[in-house]
Copies of this chain bind each other. A is one copy, B any other.
Amino acid sequence: MKTECLAMILAGGQGSRLGVLTKRVAKPAVHFGGKYRIIDFPLSNCSNSGIETVGVLTQYKPLELHTYLGTGEAWNLDRKNGGVYILPPYAREKEADWYKGTADAIYQNINFIETYDPDYVLILSGDHIYTMDYSWMLEEHKMNKAEATISVIKVSHKEASRFGIMTTDRNGRITAFEEKPKNPQSTLASMGIYIFNWRLLKRYLEEDYADCLSEHDFGKNIIPKMLADHVRLFSYSFDGYWKDVGTIESLWEANMDLLKETPSFDLGGSWRIYSSHNPLPPHFIGANAKITNSLVSGGAVIDGSIKNSVIFPGVHIGKKARIVNSVIMPYSIIHAGAVVEKAIVAENCEIMNDCHIFSDNGSITVIAEGETITSIGSDNKQVG
């Protein structure tokens, strides 16, 4: 079962910055963009790039992710050899070892990777929204005769201190790397997308495992160590849309990015984003509905007014209800006369008649999965 390149998606984070949205599901299973979940993006990118063996490293609340991925059919990853595998912490003789860091998560799955005998391993993160053809990155990796390649994106000088920042020579070879520097030397930020020659990575992972001072993290330990050892590390420049949706604010912003007259991120086009969902009919727009600058998905019934919002499948918006600058996740019901402003309403919520969801201070209101909001006014909100 030789595979040239396999992908490992780090989907293990507890996602606590997403607050109540990750109370019941792992972060990669959070809904996004009117019909997707976050993990649809790396999975679709893999599938479209011809990478058909994908390990999903998950630690917390894997059940919903597990049933969501199923056989992998939705992403064309129900392959005979390869396909998509959920990899919870590997069971040892006596107890399970939790993944101690991104590098440790890969280390603990060396056996899985070796089954496919890959030349290259692509390491991805499970909480970024972007479309990217990894096969081009792999091509450049080979052309550079690189041993590791890191995908980078230009960020503003102000933002730079939130990222891992690279300095490169004129050939794109990385000469320095700083994790969240106070005074960044450059504005090339790591996107958390790595290609490694597997033989090399395996050796570094084994060394890192034995090092009890290491935090077992790619950015903090593996990459600096490789740099120090003069490993051929190259950068791969990416200049499309890319967004970390690890916080409530960025998740909301990324949804709003889809809505402008010419959206900063266009889901359409030939690069398909796959997603698994219930079969639903076209949505139904009632006689008195009014919808502008919004996305609406299948099975929704809209009788109210919607502005600058993202409406997921199966949502009901009652008569004279008003949705503004909000994200309404699957199967939630907004009853007649209710108003929702600048909010994220998670799955299966119910906002009763004439309730008003908003926040006094302009922050984003989050309604947790399955909640029913009955009182009128803004007190019932749960900030993430």
- A74 (CB) vs chain B CBs: closest residue: B80
- A59 (CB) vs chain B CBs: closest residue: B91
In the assembled complex, how far is the CB of residue A23 from the closest CB belonging to chain B, in whole angstroms?
A: 12
Q: Is the CB of A71 within 8 A of B95?
A: no
With A70-B80, A89-B96 given, name 18 new contacts (CB 8 A): A59-B91, A61-B91, A62-B91, A63-B111, A63-B112, A63-B115, A66-B85, A67-B115, A70-B83, A71-B71, A71-B79, A73-B80, A88-B88, A88-B91, A91-B96, A95-B96, A95-B98, A96-B96
* Bound CA span A89–B112, Å: 18
Interface residue? A60 (CB, 8 A): yes
Interface residue? A78 (CB, 8 A): yes
Segment 96-135 of A: residues with Cβ below 8 Å from B: 96, 98, 111-112, 115
Interface size on A, residues (CB 8 A): 26
Residues from chain B with Cβ under 8 Å of A78 in the complex: 71, 73, 78
* Bound CA span A223–B313, Å: 45
Most chain B C-beta atoms within 10 Å of own C-beta, residue among A66, A67, A78, A95 = A67
> Could you jot down 16 A-B contacts, CB within 8 Å?
A60-B91, A61-B91, A63-B112, A63-B115, A70-B80, A71-B71, A71-B78, A73-B80, A78-B78, A89-B96, A91-B96, A95-B95, A95-B96, A95-B98, A96-B96, A96-B98
Interface residue? A384 (CB, 8 A): no
Interface residue? A184 (CB, 8 A): no
- Chain A residues in the interface with B (C-beta under 8 A): 59-63, 66-67, 70-73, 78-80, 83, 85, 88-91, 95-96, 98, 111-112, 115
Residues from chain B with Cβ under 8 Å of A62 in the complex: 91
- A64 (CB) vs chain B CBs: closest residue: B115
Residues from chain B with Cβ under 8 Å of A85 in the complex: 66-67
Residues from chain B with Cβ under 8 Å of A67 in the complex: 85, 115
Residues from chain B with Cβ under 8 Å of A61 in the complex: 91
In the assembled complex, how far is the CB of residue A41 from the closest CB belonging to chain B, in whole angstroms?
A: 22
In the assembled complex, how far is the CB of residue A4 from the closest CB belonging to chain B, in whole angstroms?
A: 18
In the assembled complex, how far is the CB of residue A278 from the closest CB belonging to chain B, in whole angstroms?
A: 10
In the assembled complex, how far is the CB of residue A304 from the closest CB belonging to chain B, in whole angstroms?
A: 30
* Bound CA span A354–B61, Å: 55
- A279 (CB) vs chain B CBs: closest residue: B80
* Bound CA span A88–B115, Å: 20
The 8 residue pairs across chains A and B that have the minimum distance between CB atoms: A96-B96, A71-B71, A71-B78, A63-B111, A88-B88, A67-B115, A63-B112, A60-B91
In the assembled complex, how far is the CB of residue A291 from the closest CB belonging to chain B, in whole angstroms?
A: 31
* Bound CA span A228–B63, Å: 35
* Bound CA span A67–B62, Å: 18
* Bound CA span A187–B88, Å: 43
* Bound CA span A71–B75, Å: 13
In the assembled complex, how far is the CB of residue A179 from the closest CB belonging to chain B, in whole angstroms?
A: 27
- A77 (CB) vs chain B CBs: closest residue: B71
In the assembled complex, how far is the CB of residue A178 from the closest CB belonging to chain B, in whole angstroms?
A: 33
Residues from chain B with Cβ under 8 Å of A80 in the complex: 70, 73
In the assembled complex, how far is the CB of residue A382 from the closest CB belonging to chain B, in whole angstroms?
A: 20
- A72 (CB) vs chain B CBs: closest residue: B71
In the assembled complex, how far is the CB of residue A249 from the closest CB belonging to chain B, in whole angstroms?
A: 26
